[in-house]
Structure 1
Amino acid sequence: MRVTHYDRQASVFVVEELEPFEGWEGGSFHVWLSDGTCDCGLFQSLHYLCRHTLAGCATASIEWVSYVHLVYKQEAVFKVYEMEFSPIPDESLWVELNRTMLRPNPVMRRKVTRRPVSTRF
C-alpha cells in the first residue's frame, strides 16, 4: 500500500493498494480526513480509522489519534461503568418469563467437516 497523492490543505489522500488484502481488490482509495470518509466505507461506517487512513497519516506525519471517534476513547468506556447498578431486592418483583426453552440435541451435532461425531473409543 502506498500514498500516491496528498493535498495538505484539503487533507485528501489517494492510497493505492498494491496487493489484494482480505477480500479487497487492488485499486486506489480516496481518503478525506476533514470529512472522515474513505472510498472503502469503513472509516465512515465504523467511525474508526481504516488502513488507508492510517497509511495516509503515516506518510504525511499526521497524528491519527485526533481522528478517532469519541466512542472509542478510554474516557467514554469508563463513563459506562460510573453508574451503579442496583439489584432487584425481592425475587417476587422479578419478571416471569413465559418462553419455550430450546435445548440442542447432542446426537445431531456434527463436526466442521460435516462428518458425524464419532462415538467409538
Structure 2
Amino acid sequence: MNVALCRADGIYQGGTNLAARWRVSRVTLDQLQAIEISVLWYTDGKGDQDLHVHHFERLDESQIQRTGLADEHRLTCELPATPLSYHGHLISVRWCIRMRLFLSDGREIVTEQPFYLAASSPSTLV
C-alpha cells in the first residue's frame, strides 16, 4: 500500500484542498473484501484519545473488481480551518490519511500518511 501527498513538504493550510494518490500492491483482487481511505485527525498524549474522521471513502468488493488495482487512485477533499496540527509536551493533534485493507481471511492492513495542517494565511481568508 502506498499513499502519496500532492505536496512534498506535507504542509497544508486550513480551507485548502488536500490531494493524494494511493495504490495497492502485493495483494490480489481475490484477497480483498474492502478498502477504506480516510482523512482524519487524532489526539495523542495525556488523557483519552480523540479521533475525528473528516473525509471517508469505502470501496467494497464489487467496486474493487470494477476499478482494479493496477492504476493509481486519487483522493481529494477540502480541509477544515481547525483543528490545527499541534505538537506539545502533554498533547498533540495529528492529521493523517489512513488507508485500511480488509482481507478475505479476516486480516486488516493499515497504513497512515501524516501531514501538517497549518493556519490559513490572511490572503486565503478573503
- Please report the TM-score for the alignment, with normalisation by the length of structure 1: 0.25
Q: Greater share of helix residues, 1 or 2?
A: 1
Q: Greater share of strand residues, 1 or 2?
A: 2
Rg larger for: 1
- Please report the TM-score for the alignment, with normalisation by the length of structure 2: 0.24
